[in-house]
Structure 1
Amino acid sequence: MSRLATSSFDKTVRVWDADNTDYSLRTFTGHSASVMSLDFHPNKEDIICSCDSDGEVRSWSINNGSCLTCVKVFKGGATQMRFQPRKGKYLAAASEKAIYILDGETQHACRSPLQGHAKDIQSVCWDSAGDYLASVSEDAVRIWSFTSGQDGEFVNELNCSGNKFQTCVFHPAHPSLLVIGCYESLELWDIREKNAMTFNNAHDGLIAALAASSATGKVASVSHDRLVKLWK
């Protein structure tokens, strides 16, 4: 069964059958504040994690409908969190100007937070191998390495040239290419070659979110102009 999950300001997490969204398969309650982000564990399809605006991270079992862990991680709320692909060793969660690297099983902090952003972080994403993590604030994108022996080492930074950054995703067909959503435009940054180019007029409003499909090799963008677009 293909599943999708949603989080809400109503403090719940819901899991749905992607082929039949008439009703939710599970509704998880327990968060005391708005649930800001969630992600499925890459290796354990039964596990989903969520974080709220009060700094609490919870993991849930989809099969039995129970809360597995509940950890107060941040003083402030989290904006987004993502499991490390393939490995699931780490869970990266952005809160204000820092990225917290949590243990994928216990959700406890593995190290001191990754810092360096001057403004609040809007989005985080991993490359498909789980070797690099990108973090986006409106004025900068930073890349962190999680290759052998370099867990959380700062690698490079791309500064905004005027069009504020909002969200990011690594291209599914070009592993070193980071796609950055901005106001009306898309920025493409090759993190290895350190080259960047801009696609203007990609949307008529802020690009709020991006998603990548490894099955099709395409990237989807959604904007405040009420459109969803697919890109090669």
Structure 2
Amino acid sequence: MFVLVQPYLAWQHLLLTKLSRVWDADNPGYSLRTFMGHSTAVISLDFHPNKDDLICSCDWDGGIRYWSINNGSCSRVFRGGTALLRFQSHLGRYLAAATDNVVSILDVETQECRQTLQGHAKSISSVCWDSTGEFLASVSEDSVRVWAVGSGSEWDCVHELSCNGNKVHSCVFHPTYPSLLVIGCYQTLELWNMAENKTMALPAHDGLIAALAVSNLTGLVASASHDKTVKLWR
């Protein structure tokens, strides 16, 4: 059962800029590195799961850049995503990049597009990998889809959930129960048991749940909302 562990107040000031920063988690006032080079505002970024030196970012114009955290240099520049991107969990072989209602699966080493995932009618607001890197979930206003990783063109949609007018915005696979997808909606968390195709709504926030994150170490789920709070669940 999902229970609230602890609410934390978060102050957020949204400012779209052309640069990215990496901060020291143990010393929040210290910025380890600043990355500059994008021609438009940076929309999304992600750390590679097993290459400690690699971070990736994308901007409004679909420009994607690989950066070295150690020296701050840009190692690669290419195009492929305008909304958000996420490295494949565990393996890091693929990069999922969303543009409008399509997810492009890019080869991390070659930047070649391996697969284009289509099926959403509206713009995708969130993508996430499960902890094994074998499944990818994508969320838009009209539906939630879960895709199975394949070779070549064998990427199949194995689960689909209609949103039925509910405002959905974010998603994350539960760190303890792999068949459970946590979906961030307006004021509620939707717990989708994909094995049984059943959902349960949990009152969570006073606004839209904009982002979700998990800790595989503790089994906790974090939710961040437009109501300016961050909450931890287990």
* TM-score > 0.5 by shorter chain: yes
| Contact 1:69–1:106 (CA under 8 A) maintained in structure 2 | no
In 2, Cα distance between equivalents of 1:8 and 1:66: 23
- The gaps in structure 2 that reach 5 residues or longer are 1-13
Aligned amino acid, residue 210 of structure 1: L
Indicate whether 1:69 and 2:41 are aligned: no
Residue 227 of structure 1 and its aligned partner are, at CA, apart by 1.3
| Contact 2:141–2:165 (CA under 8 A) maintained in structure 1 | no
**TM-score for the superposition, normalised by structure 2:** 0.90
Higher relative contact order structure (alpha carbons within 8 Å, sequence separation ≥ 6): 2
| Residues 208 and 145 (structure 1), Cα distance of their counterparts in 2 relative to 1, 3 Å cut | same
Return the match for 1:144 from 142, 147, 152. 147
Residue 139 of structure 1 and its aligned partner are, at CA, apart by 1.8
Residue 193 of structure 1 and its aligned partner are, at CA, apart by 2.4
In 1, Cα distance between equivalents of 2:154 and 2:212: 25
Query: Could you tell me which residue of structure 2 aligns to residue 3 of structure 1?
Result: none
Q: Percent identity?
A: 61
| Contact 1:38–1:49 (CA under 8 A) maintained in structure 2 | yes
Indicate whether 1:222 and 2:229 are aligned: no
Structure with the larger strand share = 2
| Residues 106 and 13 (structure 1), Cα distance of their counterparts in 2 relative to 1, 3 Å cut | farther
Return the match for 1:98 from 99, 102, 112. 102
* Mapping of residues 128-167 of structure 1, within 5 Å: 128-147=131-150, 151-167=154-170
| Residues 115 and 149 (structure 1), Cα distance of their counterparts in 2 relative to 1, 3 Å cut | closer
**TM-score for the superposition, normalised by structure 1:** 0.90
Deviations 1:60-95 (A, max 9, x none): 111121101100225xxx221111111111000111
- The gaps in structure 1 that reach 5 residues or longer are 1-6
Residue 8 of structure 1 and its aligned partner are, at CA, apart by 6.1
Indicate whether 1:51 and 2:53 are aligned: no
Indicate whether 1:18 and 2:25 are aligned: yes
In 2, Cα distance between equivalents of 1:222 and 1:121: 18
